Structure 1
Amino acid sequence: MRFITLVTLLLFGSVAKASDPQQLLQQAADNIIELLEQNKQQLAVDETLAPAIVRENLLPLVDTLGLGKRLLTRKVWPTLSGSQQQRFTDAFVDHLINTYANGLANYDGHKFHFIKTNYSSSGKTAWVYSELISKQQERFSIIYTLKLMDHYPDWRVVDVSIEGIKILQNYREQLKSVDVSEGFDALLAKIETKTESTP
């Protein structure tokens, strides 16, 4: 499951703008699979390569500006200063990178099949339905949620559902019990402990 989550997250980056969200993800999938194939052996032995690949390919299409606001409650997020909000976002991004980089070494001929795209009535939210197919023909359902927002020039991924589990929503539920009154350093520490169990 860790590998599946990692690769779906990697699909958020590495491509130029595209007006069709399904096309955007398909292009990313092709690039990521090629990258994994080219570095398969090196990924298993070079501990610095996987985090570098994740950082380079994860961030460009993720709604990083709204990440902290989505993860913390509406009551908590406004109580943080601008610098604290940035530190929280940076810490969570680092946590994601470090958590999922290990899964790169598990790549073994996986393929992506994109099925269809549904849009909201406003046309500003899209759900891209896909499958990850393993070398053994195991199929895993993946649904990407993308949004068009004023502060971005194109679609940004805001969540991913893997076999019915929404990844960012899962993190958000774990962080609901964080008590900011304990101090901001304690909040950052809890990011690491409360997200350890996420698939």
Structure 2
Amino acid sequence: MMKKLLMSGLLILAGLWAPLAAAVSLSNPYVLVNEVAQNTFDRLSRQQAEIKANPEYLRTIVREEMLPAVDVRFSAFRVIGNQLNNTTPEQRDRFVAAFSDYLVVTYADALAAYKEQKLNIGTGTVAKGEKLVSVPVVVLEPNKPAIKLEFKLRQNGRTGEWRVFDMVAEGISLLSAKQAELSGLIRQNGIDKVTLQLQAHTQKPVTPLERTQ
């Protein structure tokens, strides 16, 4: 079940971070989630022939169209957790770069599993002074139970822009899960070794995430 939630969630996360070139606004988290997700799934549907011919092309889509809207540094620092003060600026920069590449591979795998899922995206308003917002999304797929997701967005205090930094699938935070997995390894083995492990993971070919029947 968790693998199903992970695959579905990553598909939508990928959608949330695609094409900024379509003049999607970062000034409202609800508008961002709705417009970008819909644009992305439309694009995936149109470009299936090209993607099937070269699955590695998904990495280019992720890196050029999706990653600019991800608050990678914030998410990476959350994953490092309480070990952050035990690292140097150079070590943190290397980890952030490796974590960014790890996200590229992860989202490319999720996009490779795309099979015409449909979305119901929640709406709402942002209260004055609110810096964190959760946007509910329901993933619909024929002959399968609906999956309830919740996307966490934060507003950058300097730019005022909103970006996704976490997803909660049926009550489970993927960012917290990744923090639980990697922060212990950083504590035991050091951040440099974990950075190398992330870098090694990025060398694998694009592989569609397993879909639960």
**Shared fold, TM over 0.5:** yes
The counterpart of 1:14, out of the listed 14, 19, 23, is 19
The counterpart of 1:140, out of the listed 144, 147, 155, is 147
Q: How far is the alpha carbon of 1:70 from its aligned partner? A: 0.8
**Is 1:46 the counterpart of 2:20 in the alignment?**
no
- SS of the equivalent of 2:185 reads coil
Q: How far is the alpha carbon of 1:36 from its aligned partner? A: 0.6
Match runs of 1:22-61 below 5 Å: 22-61=30-69
Q: Residues 175 and 191 of structure 1 are in contact (CA less than 8 Å); yes or no, is this contact kept in structure 2?
A: no
Q: How far is the alpha carbon of 1:160 from its aligned partner? A: 0.8
Q: Which stretches of structure 1, 4 residues or more, deviate above 6 A after TM superposition?
A: none
Distance 1:121 1:152 in 2: 16
Distance 2:11 2:158 in 1: 26
Distance 1:145 1:61 in 2: 13
Report the residue type matching 2:114 in the other structure: Y
Report the residue type matching 2:19 in the other structure: S
Percentage of matched positions with identical amino acids = 24
Distance 2:172 2:52 in 1: 28
Q: How far is the alpha carbon of 1:107 from its aligned partner? A: 1.7
Distance 2:107 2:26 in 1: 26
Distance 2:176 2:19 in 1: 24
Distance 1:84 1:139 in 2: 41
Report the residue type matching 1:84 in the other structure: Q
TM-score (norm 1): 0.83
Report the residue type matching 1:29 in the other structure: A
Q: How far is the alpha carbon of 1:121 from its aligned partner? A: 8.1
Match runs of 1:83-162 below 5 Å: 83-117=90-124, 122-136=129-143, 138-162=145-169
Distance 2:186 2:145 in 1: 41
Q: How far is the alpha carbon of 1:183 from its aligned partner? A: 4.7
Q: How far is the alpha carbon of 1:81 from its aligned partner? A: 2.2
Q: How far is the alpha carbon of 1:117 from its aligned partner? A: 3.8
TM-score (norm 2): 0.78
Q: Residues 109 and 135 of structure 1 are in contact (CA less than 8 Å); yes or no, is this contact kept in structure 2?
A: no
Q: How far is the alpha carbon of 1:14 from its aligned partner? A: 2.4
Equivalent residue for 1:4?
Answer: 8
Distance 2:194 2:60 in 1: 26
- SS of the equivalent of 2:76 reads helix
Which range is displaced more, 27-36 or 184-193?
184-193
Distance 1:132 1:27 in 2: 16
Judging changes above 3 Å, is the alpha-carbon distance between structure 1 residues 184 and 123 closer, same or farther for their aligned structure 2 residues?
A: closer
Q: How far is the alpha carbon of 1:58 from its aligned partner? A: 2.8
Judging changes above 3 Å, is the alpha-carbon distance between structure 1 residues 152 and 37 closer, same or farther for their aligned structure 2 residues?
A: same
Equivalent residue for 1:62?
Answer: 70
Structure 2: any 5+ residue segments left out of the alignment?
A: 202-208
Equivalent residue for 2:88?
Answer: 81
- SS of the equivalent of 1:47 reads coil
Relative CO higher for 1 or 2, CA cutoff 8 Å, sep ≥ 6?
2
Report the residue type matching 1:14 in the other structure: P
Report the residue type matching 1:37 in the other structure: S
Structure 1: any 5+ residue segments left out of the alignment?
A: none
Q: How far is the alpha carbon of 1:79 from its aligned partner? A: 2.5
Judging changes above 3 Å, is the alpha-carbon distance between structure 1 residues 57 and 3 closer, same or farther for their aligned structure 2 residues?
A: farther
Q: How far is the alpha carbon of 1:134 from its aligned partner? A: 1.5
